[in-house]
């Protein structure tokens, strides 16, 4: 999320849309957790992709 946010701010041709779950405060952010253990692979830096890691300003 943080990397996407930075890219949207820096790149005028990068457009993103938030899914409705981002606006629903009643679910406690459950959609950001990989509760089924889906293998999303690894990032370019070698870290495993799993639960969404929010930046400090989003806490």
Q: What is the pLDDT of residues 8-50, one digit of tens each?
A: 888 888 877 777 787 777 888 888 899 999 999 999 999 999 9
| pTM, to two decimals | 0.55
Its domain, for residue 50, covers 2-58
Task: Give the count of beta carbons closer than 10 Å to the beta carbon of residue 4.
Answer: 10
């Amino acid at each position: 999320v943080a990397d996407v946010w930075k890219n949207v701010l820096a790149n005028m041709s990068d457009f993103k849309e938030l899914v409705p779950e981002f606006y629903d405060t009643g679910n406690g952010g459950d959609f950001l957790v990989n509760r089924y253990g889906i293998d999303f692979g690894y990032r370019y830096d070698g870290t495993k992709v799993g639960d969404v890691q929010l930046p400090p300003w989003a806490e």
